[in-house]
Amino acid sequence: MQRAFILSFLRDLAANNNKAWMDAHRPDYHRARAEYTDFVAELIRGVQQQEPDLLGLTPQDVMFRINKNDRFQQSDEPYKKHMGAGLKRGGRHSPWAGYFIALQPGGETYVGAGRWQPEADQLARIRQEIHYNPTEFHALRQSPDLLRHFPSGLDKSQALKTAPKGYDRTDLDIEWLRLKSFFVWQSFSDKDVLRTDFPQQVLAAWQAAQPFVHFLNEAMAVE
């Protein structure tokens, strides 16, 4: 498996992010895409042994396109600078919490888990579950195994400035109820990505996050 080629291609793409360059280097793109597909297939085989919800998924179900989505485009560059995948029940675009991987050179590779910006009704259910079961929530987010792989804990970059509707701003858990995403992630250097045991590191991180992912999915499933 040539993860070095993937990083090399993405490095060149970042420096030449335009359609003309991509058209001229289409064979390299297809090779990098094929290498990434093999990498994702290896991760799927591994994670399916520990996560029944992901049985039946294929790389095509979970890999994101390299073309930017026009709805969220913040620049004229037509392509993403990474190759990513979201391993979730139902595939990459499903509404469930799951597991994520994105390869990007320059130390921007990340491994993550959880639910990023859930829909309003899902967010309400997660907050309700935290409010009803704070002990379980705090035990999961502070799990030594989780924090060993994701030492920064839950990402707090997406949060309301005040209390969400229906909650008192003096609530003991308001810091967490204000969150708009429930996600953990950890970046990796290019050197880490090229290690032979990198897939095992990814799978170990996802396994550590599995109880937290299950908590979110059980919360969102409640009617």
The pTM score is: 0.94
Give the 3-state secondary structure of 50-101: CCHHHCCCCHHHHECCCECCHHHCCCCCCECCCEEEEECCCCCCCCCCEEEE
Q: Encode pLDDT of 90-146 as tens digits.
A: 999 999 999 999 999 999 999 999 999 999 999 999 999 999 999 999 999 999 999
Among 53, 216, 64, 59, which residue's Cα sits nearest to residue 140?
A: 216
CA–CA distances in Å: residue 21 to residues 25, 34, 69, 77: 6, 19, 19, 12
Q: What is the pLDDT of residue 120?
A: 96
Residues 203-222: pLDDT tens digits?
999 999 999 999 999 999 96
| pLDDT band, very low/low/confident/very high, at 74 (cuts 50, 70, 90) | low
- Given a contact cutoff of 8 angstroms between Cβ atoms, the answer to whether 85 and 40 are in contact is yes
Domain extent listing, the chain: 3-221
